[in-house]
A = this chain, B = another copy of it.
Amino acid sequence: MAEYDAVVVGAGVLGLATAYHIKRQNPGHRVLVIERLSGPGQGSTAKSAGMFRVFFYSKTNLALAHTSVEFYKHLQEERGIELNIRWVGYLWLFDAKGYGKIKPVLDAISARGLEYRVLEAPELEKTMGLRTDLSGDDEAELMELPNVDYGVFVPRAGSIDVDALVRFYEMAFFELGGKIAYNAEVKRLLVEPKSPLGVPGEPFIWQDAVVKGVETSSGEIRARKVVIAAGAWSHKLLGPIGLECFFRPKKRQLFSIRVSGKPELERLLWTKGLNKEGCMPFTILPRPRVYLRPAPEEEAIWLSFADELGRPFEEDPELEPAPEPEFYEYGLYQVAVKYFPQLEGCRPDAAWAGYYAENPIDHQPVVFEEAGVMVVGGASGSGIMKADAIGRIAAALYSGQEEAELFGGEMFRVSDLSIRERRVEPEKLVI
């Protein structure tokens, strides 16, 4: 007999959003979230940059991010949940060639009514102290760093307090009567015959089998439906029972530089004139796409880069992956300081690392069910900004609905995020 209707493995932002929406749609169902760590969103969720944008080429991305961000805005502005949303905007930097390539994509996005503004080199130099012309700099030439000719500023984008967001989902889930078991590790999924005979060695090949629950560090828990939302660790649960999760972990690291006491850096962080927050936008360099993330709440600027080739897919991801000092010293810093001389000599005051659950097929999330187990994940670094929509889509799949109603009423075909009937539009404006 199943003790729960649904067991959700993982209390990251995707697991909690999923659990909350399942419980909201099915108030009578017994829903349990199981989490290895001691609180909500303490895995990769806590390590994320916590950025969002509502400016995508892909209609899939747009639907997921737009409705999620609208929901977060609604929470903050109408329901008094303080999520510290800061509309700092995104600023992509391009040289003339890169800009020429992306222009048709920007035009297509703009035709959908999404706003952007082009800033030219002199304005970028003036407002941000950006060094746009690297010609004559031998090191920059050796590094093949392009000049900056244009900046594309997207206002409908910003940062959010990730911890506050997961705590909202946790609280809202609790209020509906949901349960969470913290400090409980799921060891394996229980594959059992639909009609057990009670014979050792079951299930045999002539028995129809399904996932009927999980084995945890403190015993077995049975559920009508198991939902895997374990991010970087999902494949470690699914692989052993012969299911593929279609995403794999890649380590991503952030390095934080405090600006206090460094007047030039303070001026950069508190860049005026680009947004209402009166701080620098989330800024993406031309190549490599190192990004600078303003963290005004801690008077810091974060630096990061999503390295691809050479950065392994982790078979066995760590609980606390270590940031790599040389990644900053010989990588991020060398690139960033060429464009922002204000960073000269700066070393990180803090650093941390987490994992992207990277879907290498199309970098979009997957939500599917197989053999009684649902899989939710693979947001590939966009989990925060899409979490609410993904949770609603997962809840719709749980409830057997063909379409999910996203926040604001937009309908989304659930199978679009499945594997077999997948229908996602590729993104052309990436970081």
Contacts and interface: CB of A to CB of B under 8 A. Distances in A.
Interface string A57-85: 00000000000000000000000000000
A271 interface: no
A208 B210 CA distance: 46
Given A246-B360, A360-B244, A312 B209 contact: no
A242 interface: yes
A315 B239 contact: yes
A56 interface: no
Contacts of A334: 204, 206
B331 A206 contact: yes
Nearest to A373: B309
A120 to B, nearest CB: 24
Given A142-B197, A371-B309, A205 B243 contact: no
Interface string A201-217: 10111111111000000
Contact of A206 (B326, B335, B371): B335
A335 B313 CA distance: 40
Given A204-B330, A315-B315, A419-B361, A242 B309 contact: yes
A241 to B, nearest CB: 6
Interface residues of A, number: 48
A189 to B, nearest CB: 10
B242 A250 contact: yes
Chain A interface, DSSP helix/strand/loop, else mixed: loop
A337 to B, nearest CB: 12
Contact of A243 (B143, B246, B309, B371): B309
Contacts of A197: 142
A292 to B, nearest CB: 15
Interface string A233-251: 0000001111110101010
A308 interface: yes
A130 interface: no
A302 to B, nearest CB: 16
A185 to B, nearest CB: 19
A407 interface: no
B145 A241 contact: no
A395 B305 CA distance: 35
A31 to B, nearest CB: 24
A311 interface: yes
Nearest to A205: B331
A288 interface: yes
B206 A361 contact: no
A124 interface: no
A136 interface: no
Contact of A242 (B206, B241, B246, B312): B312
Nearest to A197: B142
Nearest to A327: B205
A290 interface: yes
B307 A240 contact: no
Contacts of A320: none
A206 B240 contact: no
A1 to B, nearest CB: 22
A142 B340 CA distance: 73
A191 interface: yes
A312 B241 contact: yes
A159 to B, nearest CB: 23
Contacts of A288: 205-206
A77 to B, nearest CB: 39
Contacts of A208: 144
Given A144-B208, A145-B206, 8 more contacts: A143-B206, A143-B207, A191-B310, A205-B290, A206-B334, A206-B335, A239-B248, A315-B315
28 contacts: A143-B204, A143-B207, A144-B207, A201-B326, A204-B330, A204-B331, A204-B334, A205-B290, A205-B305, A205-B307, A205-B327, A205-B335, A206-B331, A209-B310, A210-B309, A211-B309, A239-B313, A239-B315, A241-B309, A241-B312, A242-B308, A242-B309, A242-B311, A244-B313, A244-B360, A246-B361, A315-B315, A361-B419
